[in-house]
Structure 1
Amino acid sequence: MKLGDPSLDHLRIFLAIVEEGSFGAAARRMNRAVSAVSYGIAQLEMQLGVTLFEREGSRKPVLTEAGEGLLAEARHVADGVDGLLAKTRSLHAGLESNLALVIDVMMPGEVTAQVLATFRERFPTVALRLRVEGLGAVAECLIDEGAQLAIGGPVVSEELQLERQAIGEVELIPVAAPTHPLAGDNVAPGETRKHLQLVLSDRSTRTQGKEFSVLSPLTWRLGDLAAKHSLLRHGLGWGNMPREMVARDLEEGRLVELDLPEKPGDKYTLYALWRRDMRLGPATSWLIDAFKEKLSA
């Protein structure tokens, strides 16, 4: 038996009958005559070579076994077309079809999660790609790898190819395990140079030769902030961390904030960054405003 190609319109008629519970209700929803709905189902059944509804002995159409089996596929096809049309309408309205976002490792995870959860609800047709990087690698993703938006720190904010907008700041504080020699009171000037410092390292070459709050010649360079966090909790050195990331460790005594004479803690300004040759779309602009609002809350 040769099957025909069902039309999208016939599939929508099929779904309307299932959802409304009758041919008449489906006709009213679709603003059509009942005869047109009946004809559409007859055509669909002929094209598929199956009976979709049991019509005998009941005023309410009941799905046959074949109808039940094809229902999920019909919904999948209709949903796919609806998604295509929604994205097309968004493109005509200037909305981005996709957006590559890079976020600095210093950004509080809770802020990122809240903003992106709202983003997915507000812009369901925008395909978002997310990367988390540190230091110069943030700019590298924008300049060399085609990302459209980054949230980065002061290290990359001076790149001439990028526009920037300050959106907030993160407090960095020096911490160590409570058993660390620097965890005591009255630490002498220069004492930090005698102890291993854990330092976030740049995966890119953009900050090669630059040092950021490095006080000790004894360093372990780590490209992963989570790895640095873990080593600090195990007493393997001292280093600066975002206060929010270590807040629970400070409360529960796994880490202590160090009172060092050099006061290496700092305010880490976060910037929204994008290429100068790029026009910001509505979804990108919304992300900048949302991150700024969360960071200032």
Structure 2
Amino acid sequence: MPSVGFPTFEQLQVLTTIAETGSFSAAARRLNRAQSVISYAVGQLEEQIGVLLFDRSGRVPRLTEAGRAVLADARRATATIETLRGRAASLQKGLEAELRVGIDVMFPMDRLVAALDAFATQFPMVSLRLSMEALGGVARLVADEACDFGISTELDAMPAAIRQRPIGTVRLVPVAAPTHPLALATADRDAVRDATQIVLADRSALTEGQDIAVLSLKTWRIGDLGAKHALLLAGLGWGNMPEAMVVADLKAGRLVRLTLSEARSHDYPLGVIHRADRLLGPAATWLADRLTV
């Protein structure tokens, strides 16, 4: 049995282009080659792999069964090579191969999705690794160089290596399910302290010993904002949530805004953070400039 040769990228590109355009002549026009060059490339590919790719008995050459099988492999191979070439071109321009970003869970999700959608179009060759953290979690990732930059709240114990640029605030409102005791009347200090407060947990040690906006003696500490939202909807406690995240719940009556003597709506500051000893690359700079509230 004859050995199978190694097809070139050009040969595979010709095969996939013929399949996409429907004919040798259309492929020649798209690739800006003479039709004879297209035919020669197909013939060489058939000779190298030892199978007939096109049935030439009719007026228009048609893929054989073997040709259709090879075409699927050719598409995967050309796509991989094109990705490699694009990534190499990006790296030559100084563009990051991968961007690691930490985002505070309070950052508005619609703003994040819009920014990442634009990022995917602007930098299709840059891989993205996204981490969602609460309180000091993002600052810890950036300080430890696990993230290139982050969106974090202000911290009293911000690591010395970190520089921060304010980008805005998120409005937090105290809420509970309408059946919760605190929702039934204006609550006094004792009622608030006796009720279970659902609080975001900090997976870093940067806020250790601090209870930020914690008023209740009994707390459930949750590491995920979505889980906190679900527990509030279930009536298992009260807590502060980003207003934009619960506005639909408030309108529908699934949650109510609490009138508390001690806990009122307040602003949660956010900023772009990065290590002072590291320069942000072009993709990181572009994305950081678009993450604003």
The residue that corresponds to 1:240 in the other structure is 240
Structure 1 residues 43 and 185: CA distance shift in structure 2, 3 A: same
1:145 to partner: Cα distance: 5.2
Give matches, 1:70-81, under 5 Å: 70-81=70-81
Task: State whether residues 240 and 264 of structure 1, in contact with CA within 8 Å, keep that contact through their aligned partners in structure 2.
Answer: no
The residue that corresponds to 1:277 in the other structure is 277
Of 229-238 and 118-127, deviating more is 229-238
Give matches, 1:22-37, under 5 Å: 22-37=23-38
Deviations 1:244-283 (A, max 9, x none): 1221221122221112222443101111111222221222
2:38 corresponds to 1:61: no
CA distance in 2, matches of 1:265, 1:161: 32
The residue that corresponds to 1:10 in the other structure is 11
Of 78-87 and 220-229, deviating more is 220-229
CA distance in 2, matches of 1:211, 1:260: 18
Unaligned runs of 5+ in 2: none
Q: Percent identity?
A: 46
CA distance in 2, matches of 1:28, 1:124: 27
Unaligned runs of 5+ in 1: none
CA distance in 1, matches of 2:104, 2:117: 18
CA distance in 2, matches of 1:20, 1:249: 51
The residue that corresponds to 1:52 in the other structure is 53
Q: What amino acid sits opposite 1:41 in the alignment?
A: V
The residue that corresponds to 1:109 in the other structure is 109
Of 275-284 and 81-90, deviating more is 275-284
1:234 to partner: Cα distance: 2.7
Give matches, 1:1-297, under 5 Å: 1-58=2-59, 60-144=60-144, 146-155=146-155, 158-189=158-189, 191-292=191-292, 295=293
Task: State whether residues 154 and 269 of structure 1, in contact with CA within 8 Å, keep that contact through their aligned partners in structure 2.
Answer: yes
1:66 to partner: Cα distance: 1.3
Local SS of the residue matching 1:77: helix
Q: What amino acid sits opposite 2:17 in the alignment?
A: A
Structure 1 residues 155 and 45: CA distance shift in structure 2, 3 A: same
Task: State whether residues 138 and 150 of structure 1, in contact with CA within 8 Å, keep that contact through their aligned partners in structure 2.
Answer: yes
CA distance in 1, matches of 2:236, 2:29: 72
Of 143-152 and 128-137, deviating more is 143-152
Give the TM-score normalised by structure 1. 0.90
CA distance in 2, matches of 1:280, 1:157: 23
Local SS of the residue matching 1:170: strand
CA distance in 2, matches of 1:284, 1:177: 40
Q: What amino acid sits opposite 2:240 in the alignment?
A: N
CA distance in 2, matches of 1:39, 1:216: 79
1:62 to partner: Cα distance: 1.3
Task: State whether residues 173 and 266 of structure 1, in contact with CA within 8 Å, keep that contact through their aligned partners in structure 2.
Answer: yes
Task: State whether residues 103 and 132 of structure 2, in contact with CA within 8 Å, keep that contact through their aligned partners in structure 1.
Answer: yes
CA distance in 2, matches of 1:7, 1:126: 27
CA distance in 2, matches of 1:208, 1:166: 23
Q: What amino acid sits opposite 1:207 in the alignment?
A: T
Task: State whether residues 53 and 64 of structure 2, in contact with CA within 8 Å, keep that contact through their aligned partners in structure 1.
Answer: yes
Aligned length: 292
Structure 1 residues 212 and 68: CA distance shift in structure 2, 3 A: same
1:134 to partner: Cα distance: 0.6
Task: State whether residues 201 and 223 of structure 1, in contact with CA within 8 Å, keep that contact through their aligned partners in structure 2.
Answer: yes
1:198 to partner: Cα distance: 2.1
CA distance in 2, matches of 1:198, 1:140: 23
